[in-house]
Copies of this chain bind each other. A is one copy, B any other.
Amino acid sequence: MIEALLKKLRHYDDISPDEEKALVAAAGEIASFARGATIIRARTELRVSTLLVDGLVHSYKDLADGSRQTVQLAVPGDFIDLHSFLMKQVDHNLAAMSNCRIVGFPHERLVELTRTHDHLSRLLWLSTTIDGAIEREMVTSLGRRSAISRMAHLFCELQVRLEAVGMADPVHAGGCRYDLKVNQEQLSEILGMTPVHVNRMLKELRLMGLLTFKSHVVEILNWQRLAELAEFDPFYLGLRKRPR
């Protein structure tokens, strides 16, 4: 149930059997949400932090003109609102981008965990700072990259993040691919552009022979050139083991 999380954390540092046990013990109930369902509404009081087990969840902000902007995209193994552990209320909505399963971690058990498991709780907090790094990269994309480069960057990032939890072919195995259960409108909310423009940029990536996205499958045809177009450097994802 929390395998993806463990896989991710093991990229940060080794996890002892005892730590694994503690983490499993802290997990609460599992729940399912259908695509589009709201999981957490902004400003509600939270007593549980939520781990995404399967599917995609995004945090988003609504704007007056009816548009919305995704501010964080969670893949399996990510906590979708670990920052609520301290903030108690989040400043954004959380919704299922695809059918998904989640598992709650009651805050009191997380408190207990921080008391009893120093190293493990450091790793959990590290994961929130890496969420911040991902957001900073998103700022860079939205502020300075062209639409096509921004899109390329997103697909690169997802490749690496999904690969880290075993949900994408390794990059080196020639053509890599992964499932991405979103439509073009949802992509446009992530990328800060219109659905029409998403469609055109996808076409361009296809014509350039870099990538295809069809029936919820991303297939990267030329990783190197895609990464160049995106100016992608995975350093910010923090997926290299070092003592924490």
Chain A: residues with CB nearer than 8 A to chain B? 43, 59, 61, 63-64, 67-72, 83, 86-88, 91-92, 122, 125-126, 128-133, 135-140, 142-145, 191-192, 231, 235-236, 238, 242, 244
Q: Are B136 and A71 in contact (CB under 8 A)?
A: yes
Smallest beta-carbon distance A234→chain B, Å: 10
In the complex, the chain B residue whose C-beta lies closest to that of A136 is B71
Q: Are A144 and B69 in contact (CB under 8 A)?
A: yes
- Would A69 and B143 be within 8 Å (CB), given that A86-B244, A87-B126, A122-B86 are in contact? yes
Q: How many copies does the complex hold?
A: 2
In the complex, the chain B residue whose C-beta lies closest to that of A123 is B86
Q: Which residues of B contact A83 (CB under 8 A)?
A: 129, 132-133
Smallest beta-carbon distance A192→chain B, Å: 3
Q: Are A192 and B142 in contact (CB under 8 A)?
A: yes
Q: Are A135 and B139 in contact (CB under 8 A)?
A: yes
Smallest beta-carbon distance A224→chain B, Å: 15
Question: How far, in whole Å, are A131 and B129 apart by their CA atoms in the complex?
Answer: 10
Q: Are A72 and B129 in contact (CB under 8 A)?
A: no
- Would A143 and B192 be within 8 Å (CB), given that A86-B129, A125-B125, A132-B128 are in contact? yes
Question: How far, in whole Å, are A107 and B81 apart by their CA atoms in the complex?
Answer: 26
Q: Show 23 A/B contacts (Cβ-Cβ < 8 Å), sorted by A.
A: A61-B136, A61-B137, A61-B140, A63-B145, A71-B136, A71-B139, A83-B132, A86-B244, A87-B238, A91-B136, A91-B137, A91-B236, A128-B128, A128-B129, A131-B132, A132-B132, A132-B135, A138-B139, A142-B142, A142-B192, A143-B191, A143-B192, A144-B192
Q: Which residues of B contact A87 (CB under 8 A)?
A: 126, 129-130, 133, 238
Q: Which residues of B contact A145 (CB under 8 A)?
A: 63
Smallest beta-carbon distance A91→chain B, Å: 4
Q: Which residues of B contact A126 (CB under 8 A)?
A: 86-87
Q: Are A43 and B122 in contact (CB under 8 A)?
A: no
In the complex, the chain B residue whose C-beta lies closest to that of A237 is B91
Closest 9 CB pairs of A and B: A143-B192, A142-B142, A91-B236, A71-B136, A69-B143, A83-B129, A135-B135, A86-B126, A69-B144
